[in-house]
Amino acid sequence: MADDGASFGTLLRRLRVTAGLTLDQLAEASGVTGRAISDMERGVSRRPRVSTVQLIADGLRLDPDQRAALAAAARAPRSPAVVGGLPLPRAALDFTGRDDDLARIAGWAELTPALVVISGAPGIGKTSLAVQAAQAWTAEERLFVDLRGLDTRPLTPDAVLGRLIRAVSPAQRAVPRKTEEAAALWHSLVRERRLVVVLDNAVDEDQVRPVIPPNGPVVVLVTSRRRLSGLEGVHRVRLGALPDPDALTLLTRILDEDSPPEGLRRIAELCVNVPLALRIAGNRLASRPGWTPEDLIVRLAAQERRLDALTAGDLRIEAAFTLSYEQLSGIARRLFRRLALVAGPSTGTELAGVLVGEPAPVTETALDELVELSLLQLRPDGRFEFHDLLRLYAGVQLGREESAAERERLTRRRDVWLLDTAMMAGRFFEPEFHATRPDAAVAAGLTTEARAGDWLRAEAENWLPALRQAAEDGDDRRVVDVAESLHWFSDGWASWPQWEDVFTLSSRAAERLDDDALRAVHLGYLAWVHIVCLRQPEQAIEPARRALECAVRSGDRRQIAWAEYYAAWASHEARQWSASLEHARAAVAGFRATGDREGLPNGLTLCAMAVRGMGSADDAVPLFEDVIEAVTDPATAPSPRIALYIVAGVRGFLTEIEVEAERWPAALRRAGDSIAAAERLEQPHDVLLTARVDRALVYARLGETASGRADLEAARELLAELGAEAPRLGPVRARMAELERQLGPG
C-alpha cells in the first residue's frame, strides 16, 4: 500500500541525499531519467524493474549491503489494493476451467505492454476470466474500471482516463480536459509501473484506445461482448461454452454436495454449458433444499419455460441477453429474432436474407453486427449459429414483436425458398442439366456444380426439415419433385444417412398420389439407399420387389427396366446370383429397347457382376469390357460424367479379378488403368480410394514395398479428405490396416 510503496522511495531518497547527489546528478550517473527517479522517491512508481534498480545502485556507488537493501525494498510484496478506489472485484470462488486461456494470457502478459481483448456471448464468463487472470500476475497495482458498455450512457474516454489517473496519482487534482492531453498524462504516469488494468464491459474501441500505453510494463485487459475488431496490436481470447467436464465441475462446486452426476450432466446440457446459466441453475437448486436435480430438469426441459427457470435472485439469463439485444440496430434485431425460425443449428447468408427480407449487402451487415456483439457465432465454414439459450431468447422476442400471421408467413417463405433452391441445386447433377440451366439458379448463387453441391450439403439441416413439413402438410407432389431432383446428386453423397428419410418420404408421397410409375421410381431410390448408404441388402429386396410390381402395372417400359435393375442390384448384394442375373438381363433388354443411355451400362455391369458372383470370374471379364465399350461408343454413351464414373468402377472390378487370380503383372496394369480412370472424376471418390489400395496390395505381392507405401499414403490422404465414417468404407479401412502391417514402416 502507500507506506509499503514509500519504503522503497524513502530508502532511495535517503541514499541519494547521503551520497550528496541531486536528482539530475543521479540521473546522469545512472542513466535513469530524473523524472523516473522522482516518481520512485515519491512512491508513484513503486515496483521498478530489476535492471533499473541495478543502474541506480551503480550510480550511487552502493556497497554490497546497501545494494541488497535497495533491491529487497524494490522486491517487497505489495498489496493489490488501489488507493484510488479501483480495486478488482472479488474473484469467483468457484471459478472453473479456462486453463488454456489463462495460460495464453499469462504468456502474453510477459511481453509488455500487452493488450488482451476477451470477447464472447452474454453470460460466457468474460469478467470472471479477466479477474482470475489479473489476480494471477505479479503486479504493483491492479485497477478495475467498469466501462458500463451496455448502459444507455457508457463512460466516456475522458471519464475513464480521469479515474485511472487519480487512482495511480492521488495528488493529481486536475485532469486535462482534452482527451489527447489526459492520455499523454496517463501514459507518463504508468511508463515504468507494473500495472494490470482491467477495462470491463467496453462498448467500442474509442472507449479503450486512449488507455493503451505505447510502452512500459503495463497490461491492459479488456472485456466486451463486442469483438472490438478495430483495435490493433491485440491478443484476442474468444470465449465459448465450457467443456463438458468443466461444466459438471462448476455445478458440483456450487452445490457442494454429492449430487448424482447424471442429473448434473443433464442440467449442464440444458444450460448449454454457459457459465452464467450454470451458476443460476446451481444456485437455484442449492437454495431449494427439497429439490432434486430431476425437479430442476423438469423445469428446464420445457423450452417455453427454460429462460424463466434460469432465474436465481437478481440473476436472470434473459436479462443478460436483453442488454445485448437492445444494443442492436433495427435490422439486426429483426434478423436476430427471425433466426429462431431456422430449423437446423446453423444458417448461411442466403437463408438469413430470406428471413430478414433484405438484399445480400444489408443482410451481411446485420450478420456482422450480430457477430460483433457476440449474439451470433461465425463458424470456420462461414456459417452462422447461436447456442440454444440464445435461440430460445430469439424465439421469445419473435413472439413478442411479430404477430402469429407474420410468423406463419415467414415460415412459409423459408420453406418455399429452401425447397425451390434444393431442386435447382439438385438439377446441376442431372445428365442434361447444363443445357437447360434456369436463370433462377444463377440468381441463387448456384453457378457451378461444386457450388450447388456445397449448398445442398451445408443447408441439408434446413431443407430436410422443410421437406418433412411439406410431407406433413400433404404437399405430396412437391415432396416427390424435390426428391426426384436430388437423386443424381445423392450418388455423390452416399455417406449421408438421411437419404433414407428423403426417399421414404417421397415413396410414401407417391403412394398417396396413387401413381404406379412414381411409386416404382421412388421405391427404387429407397432400395438404393439400403444397398449403398446403409449396407442393408436384405432390407433393399422388399422395396425393389414392390417397385417392379408398380412398374409392371404402370406399363412404362423404361420404369420396368429400372425396377428390374434395382431388383438385380438388391439380389446381387444379397448374394442371390441367379436372381440377380435374371433381373439384370431383363433390365438390359429394357434399356436397349427404350434407348436409355444411363441405364444400359449399369445393367451390363450387374450382368458381369452376377456372372462373377456365380464363380465365373474370367467369364465376367469380357462382360465388363462390354460395359466400357457401351459408355465409349457414341451410339450408346451416356453423359460424360456418368461415363467416367462407370468406367472407373468397372476398371476397379477388372483389377479385383486379376488380384483374386494372383496374376500380379496383369493386376498391376489393371490397377494403373483403374487409378487413371478414377482420377478423372470431378471430386474425390471412394472408387479412387479402392483403386489405390488395390495397387498397394499388388505392389506388396510383387515385393515393391516403396511403391506400395506410396500408394497407401495416398490412400490415407484420400480417406482423410473424404472424411467419411460411412459403413461402405469399413472394408477398405480394414484392408488398409492389413497392408500397413505387411508393408511395414517406411
The predicted model gives 285-311 an average pLDDT of: 84
Q: What is the pLDDT of residues 116-168, one digit of tens each?
A: 999 998 989 999 999 998 887 766 678 999 998 888 888 999 999 999 998 88
pLDDT top residue among 575 and 735: 575
Q: What is the pLDDT of residues 484-498, one digit of tens each?
A: 999 999 988 888 989
For 653-718, the DSSP string reads: HHHHHHHHTT-HHHHHHHHHHHHHHHTTSSS--HHHHHHHHHHHHHHHHHT-HHHHHHHHHHHHHH
Which domain covers residue 9, as residue numbers?
2-75
Domain boundary among 402, 428, 461: 402
Q: How confident is the model at residue 456 (pLDDT cuts 50, 70, 90)?
A: very high
| Domain identity same for 60 and 46 | yes
- Per the domain annotation, does 514 fall within a domain? no
The CATH number given to whatever domain includes residue 161 is 3.40.50.300
Lowest mean pLDDT: which of 178-182, 232-236, 619-623, 723-727?
723-727
The predicted model gives 203-227 an average pLDDT of: 91
| Domain identity same for 288 and 332 | no
| Domain identity same for 169 and 249 | no
User: pTM score, two decimals?
Assistant: 0.75
| Domain identity same for 308 and 395 | no
Element of type H or E holding 197: strand 195-200
> For residue 651, what are the contacts with CB-CB under 8 A and spacing of at least 6?
628, 670, 673, 674, 677, 678, 691
> For residue 397, what are the contacts with CB-CB under 8 A and spacing of at least 6?
325, 333, 336, 337, 340
- Per the domain annotation, does 719 fall within a domain? yes
- Per the domain annotation, does 32 fall within a domain? yes
- The total of structural domains in the chain comes to 5
Domain boundary among 313, 336, 361: 313
Q: How confident is the model at residue 44 (pLDDT cuts 50, 70, 90)?
A: low
| Domain identity same for 675 and 738 | yes
Separation between Cα atoms, residue 263 and residue 251, nearest integer Å:
11
Name the residue with cell 541519494: 16
pLDDT > 60? residue 443: no
| Domain identity same for 109 and 215 | yes
pLDDT > 70? residue 278: yes
Round the average pLDDT of the chain to a whole number and report it: 87
Q: What pLDDT score does 2 carry?
A: 34
Buried b (16+ CB within 10 A) or exposed e, 280-314: bbbbbbbeeeeeebeebbebbeeeeebbebbbbee
Separation between Cα atoms, residue 660 and residue 667, nearest integer Å:
9
pLDDT > 90? residue 716: no
| Domain identity same for 175 and 204 | yes
Domain boundary among 75, 110, 138: 75
Separation between Cα atoms, residue 185 and residue 179, nearest integer Å:
10
| Domain identity same for 137 and 188 | yes
Other CB atoms within 10 Å distance of the CB of residue 740? 14
| Domain identity same for 145 and 226 | yes
Buried b (16+ CB within 10 A) or exposed e, 416-449: ebbbbbbbbbbbbbbeebeeeeeeebeebbbeeb
| Domain identity same for 111 and 178 | yes
| Domain identity same for 106 and 196 | yes
pLDDT > 70? residue 289: yes
Cα maximum dimension of the chain: 117
Q: What is the pLDDT of residues 401-439, one digit of tens each?
A: 999 999 999 999 999 999 999 999 998 888 766 544 555
Lowest mean pLDDT: which of 85-89, 543-547, 692-696, 728-732?
728-732
- Per the domain annotation, does 465 fall within a domain? no
Among 173, 189, 184, which residue's Cα sits nearest to residue 35?
189
Residue 740, CA distances (Å) to 367, 388, 716, 737, 744 in order: 48, 44, 11, 5, 6
pLDDT > 70? residue 592: yes
Residue 149 burial by CB count (10 A; 0-12/13-18/19+): exposed, middle or buried? Answer: buried
The CATH number given to whatever domain includes residue 378 is 1.10.10.10
| Domain identity same for 227 and 123 | yes
Q: Which three cell numbers stand for residue 284?
A: 437455484
- Per the domain annotation, does 183 fall within a domain? yes
- Per the domain annotation, does 716 fall within a domain? yes
- Per the domain annotation, does 11 fall within a domain? yes
Q: How confident is the model at residue 584 (pLDDT cuts 50, 70, 90)?
A: very high
pLDDT > 90? residue 624: yes
Lowest mean pLDDT: which of 6-10, 327-331, 440-444, 715-719?
440-444
582 — phi, psi (to 5°)? -65, -50
**Residue 120 pairs with which residues in a beta bridge?**
239
**First CA to last CA distance, the chain:** 65
The CATH number given to whatever domain includes residue 26 is 1.10.260.40
- Per the domain annotation, does 581 fall within a domain? no
